[in-house]
Amino acid sequence: MRSASQKQAIRWQVFPRNRVANDLLRSVIGAFEAELDKIGTPHNGLKSNEVLAIVRPRLEELNFVVEGSGKVARPVLFGENDRPTKTYNVDGYHESTGTVLEVEAGQAVENNRFALDLLKAISIQGANHLVMAIPANYHPERLKSAGKPPKREFDEVVKVLDALFSAGRIELPLISLVIIGY
């Protein structure tokens, strides 16, 4: 548990590391930051849909279409008459900038959700940016009851993505990827 003198803060990292967050991406980071007392980890054990519901109004103010009453399907492949034959559901999408939003609540590393989110985003037609919001620290009951510390999800994802981008072996079709640790 954190003391009153330890203010929790949003952590974020842009990839590739030679890029900075544009105004929209900084506003998305701000949306999560504004709700940090409600969504911050590890003291809040919310599910991803609960986190998304809390930040949804702020994201909609930024003109994101956000999953709520329905799915946000984005096309991957097209068939006859340009009808989508393969789509992926995402947590949010900003049409004019091609920004995909994915929110994970737990097991972003354990179940490789961050890797799946990245693969989906690079397959989506028109996707230019990916924002992935993940717990900074993931502390499920099984770890708490065993007396183990929280898993540092943000740090693990950043480490993997840093290796991926730094290795120089692949070039992703995204302008930027932003990891937000809440």
Per-residue pLDDT tens digits for 140-172: 777 678 888 778 889 999 999 999 999 989 889
So what's the pLDDT on residue 7? 60
Nearest partner of 124 among 94, 149, 104, 160, judged by Cα: 94
pLDDT of residue 27 exceeding 90, the answer is yes
pLDDT of residue 5 exceeding 70, the answer is no
Asked whether residue 2 is domain-assigned, the answer is no
CA 101 to chain centre: 6
Report in angstroms the alpha-carbon separations of 153 from 63, 71, 112, 132.
Answer: 28, 26, 11, 12
Asked whether residue 1 is domain-assigned, the answer is no
Average pLDDT for 121-149: 88
Average pLDDT for 47-75: 95
Asked whether residue 5 is domain-assigned, the answer is no
- Quick check: 71 and 91 in contact, CB under 8 A? no
pLDDT of residue 175 exceeding 50, the answer is yes
- Least trusted range by pLDDT, from 21-30, 75-84, 106-115: 106-115
Asked whether residue 19 is domain-assigned, the answer is yes
Average pLDDT for 79-103: 98
Asked whether residue 43 is domain-assigned, the answer is yes
So what's the pLDDT on residue 76? 98
pLDDT of residue 18 exceeding 80, the answer is yes
Q: Can you give the CATH number for the domain in which 164 is found? A: 3.40.91
- Per-residue burial over 121-132, b if 16 or more Cβ lie within 10 Å, else e, is beebeebebbbb
Asked whether residue 3 is domain-assigned, the answer is no
3-state secondary structure the chain: CCCCCCCCCCEEEEECCCCCCCHHHHHHHHHHHHCHHHHCCCCCCCCHHHHHHHHHHHHHHCCCEECCCCCEEEEEEECHHHCEEEEEEECEEECCCCEEEEECCCCCCCCCHHHHHHHHHHHCCCCCEEEEEECCCECCHHHHHCCCCCECHHHHHHHHHHHHHHHCCCCCCCCEEEEEEC
pLDDT of residue 182 exceeding 60, the answer is yes
Asked whether residue 23 is domain-assigned, the answer is yes
Which structural domain, as residue segments, surrounds residue 60?
11-181
Asked whether residue 4 is domain-assigned, the answer is no
pLDDT of residue 6 exceeding 70, the answer is no
Given pLDDT bands bounded at 50, 70 and 90, which one contains residue 90?
very high
Given pLDDT bands bounded at 50, 70 and 90, which one contains residue 106?
confident
Number of structural domains found in the chain: 1
For tokens 């054990």, the residue is 45
So what's the pLDDT on residue 1? 44
- Least trusted range by pLDDT, from 13-17, 58-62, 137-141, 158-162: 137-141
Report the chain's mean pLDDT, rounded to a whole number: 91
